[in-house]
């Protein structure tokens, strides 16, 4: 593994951007024909994403997970934003059907619960690391200065703060909740000069949302 990591040590842009871009690119396989394809594709991209995080984790010094009260409270607030704002503003049209494994594999089936477990685990543990490194660490600083490593993660600048938050929001169906979430997570990263609290908030929010989706049958959040 050292032979894989060593060439990446001098490529900080690649280390912070490539895992997220690859993970996002693999999402298109979920659109392939077949009723069960989205679920197997999500499992595949989760495994690939996990490998990429494992490969680059030692090379991203700001990627430090912290279980502090700020992150937990922030995560609960983000969850409240997504659930509370749903249906109160126009959202982007879904690109496909809602992600409901019970409708495909049968209510209560082992396969359905297995894919639900993969989805919740992926969105709680993997997605926060991929997205926080890309949006909050790389994109924010790159907008401020293409030589992004010169920009301290705790340095507040209005333009990158607004643009990075907007880009994060526009990448989601629920664009308004996404923009507000992006701003909150960026503030958490700026406050501590690393991604610890932002990672915790993102993970808590996704975990609560995953539980909410399954409990309430609100599969539209997983479209």
Q: What's the pLDDT score for residue 31?
A: 78
Start-to-end C-alpha separation, the chain: 36
Backbone angles phi, psi at 74, to 5 degrees: -60, -40
Q: What's the pLDDT score for residue 2?
A: 64
Q: What's the pLDDT score for residue 3?
A: 67
Cβ(66)–Cβ(132) under 8 Å?
no
Which CA distances in Å does 134 have to 22, 66, 163?
12, 18, 14
- Of 147, 145, 190, whose CA–CA distance to 165 is shortest? 190
pLDDT along the chain (223 residues), means of 10: 69 91 90 87 95 90 84 96 92 73 91 95 96 96 94 94 97 94 96 92 97 93 84
Q: What's the pLDDT score for residue 158?
A: 95
Q: What's the pLDDT score for residue 57?
A: 87
Which CA distances in Å does 142 have to 16, 152, 153, 209?
11, 11, 11, 30
Cβ(208)–Cβ(79) under 8 Å?
yes
Q: At what angle do helices 69-85 and 196-216 cross, to 10 degrees?
A: 40
Predicted TM-score (pTM) of this structure: 0.93
Q: What's the pLDDT score for residue 62?
A: 86
- Of 46, 203, 208, whose CA–CA distance to 115 is shortest? 46
Q: Tell me the C-alpha distance between 163 and 159, whole Å.
A: 6
The torsion region of residue 109 among left (phi > 0), alpha (psi -120 to 50) and beta comes to: beta
- Of 202, 221, 208, whose CA–CA distance to 99 is shortest? 221
Q: Tell me the C-alpha distance between 51 and 12, whole Å.
A: 18
């Amino acid at each position: 593994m050292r032979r894989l990591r060593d060439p990446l040590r001098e490529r900080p842009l690649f280390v912070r951007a490539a895992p997220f871009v690859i993970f996002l690119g693999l999402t298109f396989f979920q659109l392939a024909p077949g009723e069960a394809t989205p679920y197997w594709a999500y499992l595949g991209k989760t495994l690939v994403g996990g490998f990429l995080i494992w490969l680059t984790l030692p090379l991203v010094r700001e990627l430090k997970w912290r279980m502090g009260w700020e992150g937990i409270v922030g995560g609960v607030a983000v969850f409240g934003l997504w659930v509370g704002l749903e249906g109160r503003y126009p959202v982007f049209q879904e690109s496909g059907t809602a992600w409901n494994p019970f409708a495909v594999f049968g209510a209560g089936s082992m396969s359905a619960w297995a894919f639900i477990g993969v989805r919740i685990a992926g969105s709680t543990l993997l997605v926060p690391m991929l997205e926080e490194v890309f949006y909050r660490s790389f994109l924010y600083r790159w907008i401020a200065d293409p030589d992004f490593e010169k920009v301290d993660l705790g340095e507040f600048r209005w333009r990158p703060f607004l643009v990075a938050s907007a880009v994060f929001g526009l990448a989601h169906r629920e664009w308004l909740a996404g923009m507000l979430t992006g701003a909150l997570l960026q503030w958490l990263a700026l406050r501590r000069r690393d991604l610890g609290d932002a990672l915790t908030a993102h993970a808590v929010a996704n975990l609560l949302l995953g539980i909410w989706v399954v409990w309430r049958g609100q599969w539209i959040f997983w479209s």
